[in-house]
Amino acid sequence: MLQTLQIKNFALIEQLHIDFTGSFSIITGETGAGKSILLGALGLVLGNRADLGSLKDKEQKCVIEAHFKIADYNLQEFFTANDLDYEDVTILRREILPSGKSRAFINDSPANLTEVQELGHYLIDIHSQQQTRELSDELYQMQILDAVAGNNATLDTFKKQLSVFKQAQSALKKLEDQKANLGKEQDYNTYLLNELLGAKLKAGEQAELESEQEKLSNVEFIKESIAKALAVANEEQIGAVQNLKEIKNALQKISGISEEYAAFYERVNSLLIELDDVTDGISEHYEQLVNDPEALEQVNQKLQLIYNLQKKHNVTTVEELITIQNELESNVVLAEGLDEAIEKQHQNVAKAKKEVDATAVILNKARQKAIPVLTEKITAILAQVGMPNARFKFEVIAGDTYYNNGKDAINLLFSANKGTNFGLLKKVASGGEMSRIMLAIKSVLANYSKLPSIIFDEIDTGVSGEVAIKMGDIMKGMSSEMQVFAITHLPQIAAKGDQHYKVYKSTSGNTTVSELKLLTHDERVREIAEMLSGKDVSDSALTHAKALLG
């Protein structure tokens, strides 16, 4: 509920501080006195757009602050979700600076307008004839029906199940798209993979093959060189082996004279042993060397295959080709495994659909059951406010489309008079009828859900007499469940309030300001009498005012 409203430097208001109670409050005043300014200030603090025209003194900032008692509103989750400090008495403040900049605060924490507007929906409902258009909205009509049906918990369940269902559908589509994309390339990828697998690539083999190719291509030259080397080494008279043996024998004779000669002898002996080993190895290799055109052709073919594959895949090594081969294998295996994954996800979607559909049926049945209850209550109230022949027909139609509140579509049909056909409410109800219908609906909802504070802004326009009294009674009844404000020109409604505030203008020098004050009992009698007879209050008007208040 709105506890306190403070306004500074806004439109015609210099400074205003007013406290409210949680019951039925009346606000009256002459046309142009500033009632719209009061609503404008409330609108700003609840997140409406602002401009410099809102400032009374263009050199000073405008500050609007509203205190709301929200302990019973279960809004802790909203504050947590928006990283705001929760207080049982929450303060909304809006500042408009002379520069034109605007700032908003929730419990002294800076907030953006979206957060303020969202919170404002939970706190106060400013209702005028112009705002009855929401009654024509199918979503709002369903919310009315769900409130009477007590569907809050079921709706929460449905929303969670719907989220799971949509996620399952999204996951299925992703898998199917993946399969489709892979399918387009599957044949080509398989061809590339088979080509690489057929090459039987091994890491490091390119260097080995190129070396083998070099040897096979130069067999005669290699044999000639090796033969020459062997001849030089093994020539009987002047070969390297024979010469080393002679050196060895010479040094052996003097090796016993000193350690130095012995060391020379050992070194030459080692060289001779190594040379013998080298010549034996070369000789053995020489025997194995043969001119093998077939082997050379095989090596050339394998290398050419590798070079072609490298060119095709734009790489330079066998190792890179093996990496590509592994990736292609993974894609082919993935494509083959997608069918199983898709089938499993189809089962998940079917399960989620079954659950959400079952909850949608529960919602539909609860709504069908609530229709006669809601219809009876609304028509009973409308009969009291001058619409005795009003008839309603709620058509709730189960469909296949998933909405956030179920699978039902709704049509609200209305007939104001006997003998007239039903038509869509938004097409056949007049503005005055819509105002009274909205009042009746809000009255019914007050008994079923925790509504925010509500301000009825002259919704009594066009009614009078007994109908006005009944409208006042209805608003008075609503105030037992919620905080109700009524801005009115009708004395019959003004007399029903628990408190009565008057908006008025006063002039000081060249300045005109709007002010709001809580009326005493005597002031209230006088105000209602003026509403009955004008500024020249007669004794009969005073008597009538006292009777209305009594």
Distances (CA, A) of 101 to 11, 17, 49: 17, 24, 11
Query: Are residues 485 and 509 in contact, defined by beta-carbon separation less than 8 angstroms?
Result: no
Q: What is the CA radius of gyration of the chain?
A: 48
The 10s digit of each residue's pLDDT in 125-160 is: 887 765 666 777 888 889 899 999 999 999 999 999
Distance from C-alpha of 439 to C-alpha of 448, rounded to nearest angstrom: 15
Contacts of 420 (CB under 8 A, 6+ apart): none
- pTM value? 0.66
User: How far is C-alpha 76 from the geometric centre of its chain's CA atoms?
Assistant: 20
Task: Report pLDDT for 108.
Answer: 92
Please write the tens of the pLDDT for every residue from 232-281: 777 766 677 777 787 777 778 787 788 887 888 888 888 888 888 888 88
pLDDT at 131: 61
Which residues of the chain fall short of a pLDDT of 70?
A: 129-133, 183-186, 218, 236-238, 288, 290, 292, 332-336
Closest of 139, 143, 141, 148 to residue 414, by C-alpha: 141
What are the structural domains, with CATH classification, of the chain? 2-150+385-519 (3.40.50.300), 176-337 (no CATH)
Q: What is the pLDDT of residues 482-515, one digit of tens each?
A: 899 999 999 999 999 999 999 988 887 778 888 8
For residue 163, the model assigns a pLDDT of 95
Element holding 478 (H helix, E strand): helix 465-478
DSSP 371-393: HHHHHHHHHHHHHHTT-TT-EEE
